């Protein structure tokens, strides 16, 4: 792995490195870790990279790595920069023959996302988008149960993601994460919906197997002086006729990362909470509710494939993140060996998820700016 961004002054880079390292399948071998060459070099030394694999910028890294022998160069890059700096390094990496892991949202605009998908199709390389929450074993269990028809036809989806960390104007109080996430030139058209609303929308589609077709959105700037939305509500309609509600807010004072989803079908419903991730509540129309727990023998094949410890030993955010890296690595390795990856290996987000994420952002913003009640979901 070669890393772009994620130096010692960054948050998400360390999370990616821990996740990539968890299963012993990936080695950090090179890095262009900061736009500041001094910080980049210091970060590389902290991570035990050799001097000749610490690069001043991603262009230098991708060019020099591509000139190395096949058994020495990196196999993929992971891009952990702010949203505005995703597209260019991803395109160059694919042009140079490298697979890509990229933070969400995939790009700054829907048009960029479409170009990236075209490039992936042209090259035959693999791109992974780190929608972390799809990596949890109980989310995969929920998806498999829905896919196998245990709930019957899906009728309603309710998903919410409240946070409270932007309840004040912290972007003007020295909070670097807040500064770029609330700057439209760096984060894109939407703040809250682009940052966490996309996670909620992806989770709804991932578990249900359905696609959003219509929306009615309301976006708000609650904190005075903020340049971009920090709160929003969206009514949803799906391609099978089901309806739903999506709520995302970063001004829900006191909340941490309280992502929760409920999916209801003809026969029963599912409920999963990100802050209690090893539990899946299953409710039946004419039977007592059940509690499924990670690590037990009754789990489906996808949950088992993504579980590392016996029941009762909690697996959380880092393990979910690691599942995405593990499945990506297993897929890339299978392709390198001319083998067919299993369905479980291939179960990670890719360019189609990235395009739908960008479409969600652009459609929500367009809907919120319109007086029209229902907006067709355009891609």
Q: Tell me, what CATH number does 293's domain have?
A: 3.30.360.10
Q: Which residues are CB-contacts of 124 (< 8 A; sequence separation ≥ 6)?
A: none
Residues 102-113 pLDDT 10s: 999 999 999 999
Dihedral sign, Cα of residue 13, residue 19, residue 21, residue 26: negative
Q: What is the mean pLDDT of residues 316-339?
A: 97
Alpha helices in the chain (DSSP H): 12-21, 37-46, 58-66, 87-95, 110-123, 137-147, 176-181, 184-187, 192, 198-208, 301-305, 317-336, 351-368
Closest to 104 (Cα-Cα) out of 194, 1, 177: 194
Of 32, 3, 34, 38, residue with least CA distance to 18:
3
Same domain, 144 and 166: yes
Phi, psi for 92 (deg, rounded to 5): -65, -40
In a domain, 346, yes or no: no
Number of domains composing the chain: 2
pLDDT at 31: 98
Question: Based on the domain organization, do 195 and 249 belong to the same domain?
Answer: yes
Q: How many Å apart are CA 10 and CA 147, to the nearest integer?
A: 38
Q: Are residues 121 and 140 in the same domain?
A: no
Domain end position, chosen among 129, 157, 175 = 129
Let me know whether 160 and 236 are in one domain.
yes
pLDDT in tens, 280-300: 999 999 999 999 999 999 999
pLDDT number for residue 11 = 86
Tell me, yes or no, whether 46 lies in a domain.
yes
Distance separating alpha carbons of residues 57 and 124, to the nearest angstrom: 26
**Confidence at 10, pLDDT banded by 50, 70, 90:** confident
> At 311, is the pLDDT very low, low, confident or very high (cuts 50, 70, 90)?
very high
- Based on the fold, state whether residues 50 and 145 are members of the same structural domain: no
**Quick check: 349 pLDDT over 90?**
yes
CB proximity list for 24: less than 8 A, separation 6 or greater:
none
295 in any annotated domain: yes
Computed over every residue of the chain, the mean pLDDT equals 97
- Residue 26: inside a domain, yes or no? yes
Q: What average pLDDT does this structure show over 320-337?
A: 97
CA distance 295 to 250: 32
**Is the same domain home to 190 and 263?**
yes
Residue 81 and residue 140 share a domain: no
Mean pLDDT of 18-35: 97
Tell me whether residue 214 is exposed, middle or buried, using C-beta atoms within 10 angstroms of its C-beta: 0 to 12, 13 to 18, 19 or more.
Answer: middle
Q: Specify if 237 maps to a domain.
A: yes
Clarify whether residues 103 and 141 are in a common domain: no
Range of the domain at 177: 136-310+353-368
Judged by DSSP in three states, 272 sits in strand
One domain, residues 113 and 164: no
- Which residue, of 80, 96, 129, is where some domain finishes? 129
Q: What is the pTM of this model?
A: 0.95
Give the Cα separation of 166 and 188 in Å (integer): 17
- Whether residue 339 is contained in a domain is answered as no
Among candidate residues 94, 129, 164, the one where a domain is terminated: 129
The vertex-132 CA angle with 170 and 27, nearest 5°, equals 105
CB count in 10 Å sphere of residue 40: 22
- pLDDT value at residue 9: 84
243-249 and 154-162: which strand pairing?
Answer: parallel
| 89 and 159 fall within a common domain | no
Query: Residue 261: its pLDDT value, please?
Result: 98
54 and 99 share one domain: yes
């Amino acid at each position: 792995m070669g890393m772009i961004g994620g130096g010692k002054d960054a948050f998400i880079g360390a999370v990616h490195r821990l996740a990539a390292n968890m299963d012993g399948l990936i080695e950090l071998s090179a890095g262009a870790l900061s736009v500041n060459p001094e910080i980049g070099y210091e970060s590389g030394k902290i991570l035990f990279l050799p001097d000749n694999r610490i690069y001043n910028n991603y262009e230098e890294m991708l060019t020099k790595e591509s000139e190395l022998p096949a058994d020495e160069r990196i196999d993929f890059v992971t891009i952990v920069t702010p949203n505005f700096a995703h597209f260019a390094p991803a395109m160059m990496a694919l042009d140079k023959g490298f697979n890509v892991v990229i933070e969400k949202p995939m790009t700054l605009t829907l048009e960029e996302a479409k170009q990236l998908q075209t490039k992936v199709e042209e090259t035959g390389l693999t791109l992974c988008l780190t929608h972390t929450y799809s990596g949890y074993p109980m989310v995969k269990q929920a998806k498999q149960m829905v896919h196998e028809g245990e709930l019957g036809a899906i009728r309603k989806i309710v998903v919410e993601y409240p946070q409270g960390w932007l309840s004040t104007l912290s972007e003007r109080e020295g909070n670097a994460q807040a500064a770029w996430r609330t700057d439209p030139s760096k984060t894109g058209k939407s703040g809250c919906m682009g940052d966490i609303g996309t996670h909620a929308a992806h989770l709804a589609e991932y578990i249900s197997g359905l696609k959003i077709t219509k929306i009615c959105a309301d976006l708000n700037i609650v904190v005075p002086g903020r340049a971009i939305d920090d709160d929003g509500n969206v009514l949803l309609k799906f391609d099978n006729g089901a309806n739903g509600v999506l709520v995302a807010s970063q001004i829900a004072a006191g909340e941490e990362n309280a992502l929760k989803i409920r999916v209801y079908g003809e026969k029963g419903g599912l409920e999963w909470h990100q802050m209690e991730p090893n539990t899946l509540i299953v409710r039946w129309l004419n039977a007592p509710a059940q509690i499924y727990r990670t690590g037990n023998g009754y789990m489906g094949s996808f949950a088992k494939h993504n579980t590392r410890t016996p029941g009762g030993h909690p697996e959380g955010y880092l393990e979910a993140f690691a599942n995405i890296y593990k499945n990506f690595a297993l897929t890339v390795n299978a392709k390198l060996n001319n083998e067919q990856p299993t369905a479980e290996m291939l179960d990670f987000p890719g360019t189609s998820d990235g395009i739908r994420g960008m479409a969600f952002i652009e459609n929500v913003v367009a809907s919120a700016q319109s007086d029209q009640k229902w907006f067709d979901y355009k891609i």
